[in-house]
Amino acid sequence: MTSSDHLRRLHFINALFAGLTGHDLYLAQQIQTAITTSLAEPADRPAERPPPDGDPAGPERIEGAEPSDPAFAAAAARLLERLCDGRQDHGFFHWDAAESAAAVTPLFAREHVLTGLRRLARYRESTLLVTNLRPAHCPPRRRWTSRRQREYRESLALIRDLAAARSRRSASVNLLFL
């Protein structure tokens, strides 16, 4: 992994865990190292044991790890969800836009975002993490056409507008797109 990839991941972790770390880069780096180590562990296990959480792609995903690696983002989201689960002052919701082919259409995107905002409504501070929005609009090995770019920008605007309109004025909602 190059230093720019490492820096992108560090900024992602710092933004995602800011409520817990207080924007301390040392703590963010420790979290990043822990997630990377936990993802690399299936490569060291015997072949008979299944990877954790039923992830079918074990070591193959780690070797070519990108800053926006789905396994890394999912592991970070699961960790933050576990950490926020016991807290009364910070909520967390993760939506993976690539979960189905229709998930990024305006109707289904609206449904997923509103579901998340309803869950976050009781918290004074919350984080709404949206992953794989860009790959859902333009799958790998496809070109970014003007239509796809327009639909992607419209999806971003829809999510931002929903978050602004459907959250309390006194609440602090962090939107993170990865």
- b/e per residue, 128-166, with b = 16+ CB within 10 A? bbbbbbbebbeeeeeeeeeeeeebbeebbeebeebbeee
pLDDT at 1: 65
Which pairs count as long-range contacts for 38-41, CB under 8 Å and 24+ apart, including other chains?
38/75, 39/65, 39/71, 39/72, 39/75
More confident residue, 151 or 16: 151
Helices (H), 86-176: 106-120, 133-137, 146-165
pLDDT at 66: 47
In this predicted model, what pLDDT tens digit does every residue of 33-46 receive, in sequence order? 888 888 876 655 44
Q: What is the mean pLDDT of residues 117-142?
A: 88
**CA nearest neighbour of 28 among 42, 41, 15, 37:** 15
pLDDT bin (cut points 50, 70, 90) of residue 146 is very high
In the chain, the amino acid numbered 32 is Q
Q: What is the mean pLDDT of residues 98-112?
A: 87
pLDDT at 61: 33
In this predicted model, what pLDDT tens digit does every residue of 54-98 receive, in sequence order? 444 433 333 334 445 778 888 888 887 787 776 677 888 989 888
Which residue do the tokens 């959250």 mark? 167
